[in-house]
Amino acid sequence: MMWLRSGAALAWLLIMALIQPVRAEPLLVRLAYVDTDSPPFLNGNGAAAATPPGLAVELVQQAVTDAGFRLELVRLPQLRMLKMLEESQVDGAFIFSYTEERARKFIYPTKTGRPDPSLRATHIIYRAYRRKDGNASWNGNTFENLQKPVGANTGWVIVSTLREKGVEVDDGASGTQGNVGKLRLGRVDIYAGLEPTVDAYLGSNKIEDIEKTGPPLLSRDYYLIFSRNFFSESPAAAQRIWQKLAAVRERMEAQLYRQYQAGNN
């Protein structure tokens, strides 16, 4: 009799276990960002995340958390990162401006067929830097007195933008340090770099022989983009992350800018 009662209790427990809803783990989102120092947006060089990691990294981390998902971050060289994203070896990558070529391969947040600026990760300005004793300049439309190429970071959108204007570009260096070094050595006449990144590098290294010339070269919104495979399988997740990123940017970006600027002074 006792055996029957025990068997019935066990059967009841098994039935209850089967009908209980299974709690699935939150979706894991694997995102990549470039492994070169681009403060205040992306800090440090190499595969390991820096401390602090950078303004854009913090915004994305908070957005994915607020969206209710788990996050895995990897740092990669720019061209390898884009290749892995195209092959869906990572789910998404940041931060990227919009180009038609990228839009054919990856998914941007869009509205009426164009990238939606309200869902951007951040906004970035490129400036032209020269040696203070140099004659090369940027007048807002063309470069003047260029004798040598314009330096720019490998794989960055400013490279194709300048080449489309017929400008000779040296994009052999992947980061700010290498390009500023080329500029100071006279191997390039202008360095086309991200304004906050270059300003922070010049200030932290007390470099005083470099200056900006002319108005901005380029002013663009930058986005978190997803692989086509991830967006096809999890469109609601992608949309939720973009919406949370916009909310986090509005809430945190100005404060983070001040914190990172204070850290560089």
What's the confidence (pLDDT) of residue 160? 86
What's the confidence (pLDDT) of residue 19? 53
What's the confidence (pLDDT) of residue 115? 97
Residue 175 φ then ψ, to 5°: -140, 180
**For residues 86-110, average pLDDT:** 97
Q: 123-220 has which fold? A: D-Maltodextrin-Binding Protein; domain 2 (3.40.190)
What's the confidence (pLDDT) of residue 227? 98
Separation between Cα atoms, residue 120 and residue 108, nearest integer Å: 9
What percent of the chain is modeled with pLDDT above 90? 77
Confidence of residue 6 (pLDDT cuts 50, 70, 90): low
Q: Residue 20 pLDDT more than 60?
A: no
What's the confidence (pLDDT) of residue 241? 98
Q: Residue 39 pLDDT more than 90?
A: no
Q: Residue 27 pLDDT more than 50?
A: yes
What pLDDT, in 10s, does the model give residues 192-210?
998 988 988 898 899 999 9
Is 3.40.640.10 the CATH number for 28-122+222-264? no
Confidence of residue 156 (pLDDT cuts 50, 70, 90): confident
Q: Residue 3 pLDDT more than 50?
A: no
Separation between Cα atoms, residue 158 and residue 238, nearest integer Å: 27
What pLDDT, in 10s, does the model give residues 216-226?
999 999 999 99
What angle, 0 to 180 degrees and rounded to 10, lies between the N-to-C axes of helices 235-264 and 55-67? 140
Q: Are 54 and 252 in contact (CB under 8 A)?
A: no
Q: Residue 2 pLDDT more than 50?
A: no
Chain region(s) in the chain for CATH 3.40.190.10: 28-122+222-264, 123-220
Helices (H), 43-99: 55-67, 78-86
